[in-house]
Amino acid sequence: MERTVFNQAQLQILDLLSRVDSEKTLNEIRDLLADYFARKAEEEIDALWESGRLNEQVLEEWKHEHMRTPYK
């Protein structure tokens, strides 16, 4: 069995969560993390748009793309 080794960020999150005393607090932390990652995703999308790698044409192509998993 492989041993799990946590990095410093994971250890800090575990330490934070060990102090959670209610579901309300847990939900607030979950919302904060979701907001953080949503903001990061928006920043990346904006950077792609400004660089020209993402534009109206690409979005239009995505509308018609079929990326289904083939089943046998």
Q: Tell me the mean pLDDT in the region 53-64.
A: 94
Asked whether residue 70 is assigned to any structural domain, the reply reads: no
- pLDDT confidence of residue 18: 94
- Count the Cβ atoms, other than its own, within 10 Å of residue 25: 12
pLDDT, tens digit, for every residue of 26-36?
Answer: 999 999 999 99
Asked whether residue 32 is assigned to any structural domain, the reply reads: yes
CA distance 38 to 32: 10
Look at the chain and report how many structural domains it folds into. Answer: 1
State the helix-helix crossing angle for 23-51 and 8-17, rounded to 10 degrees. Answer: 140
Asked whether residue 47 is assigned to any structural domain, the reply reads: yes
- pLDDT confidence of residue 69: 83
Asked whether residue 1 is assigned to any structural domain, the reply reads: no
- pLDDT confidence of residue 6: 95
Asked whether residue 34 is assigned to any structural domain, the reply reads: yes
pLDDT, tens digit, for every residue of 38-52?
Answer: 999 999 999 999 999
* Inter-residue contact 50 to 43 (CB < 8 Å): no
* Inter-residue contact 29 to 17 (CB < 8 Å): yes
Share of residues in the chain with pLDDT > 90 (%): 81
| Structural domain for 55, as ranges | 22-63
CA distance 60 to 70: 23
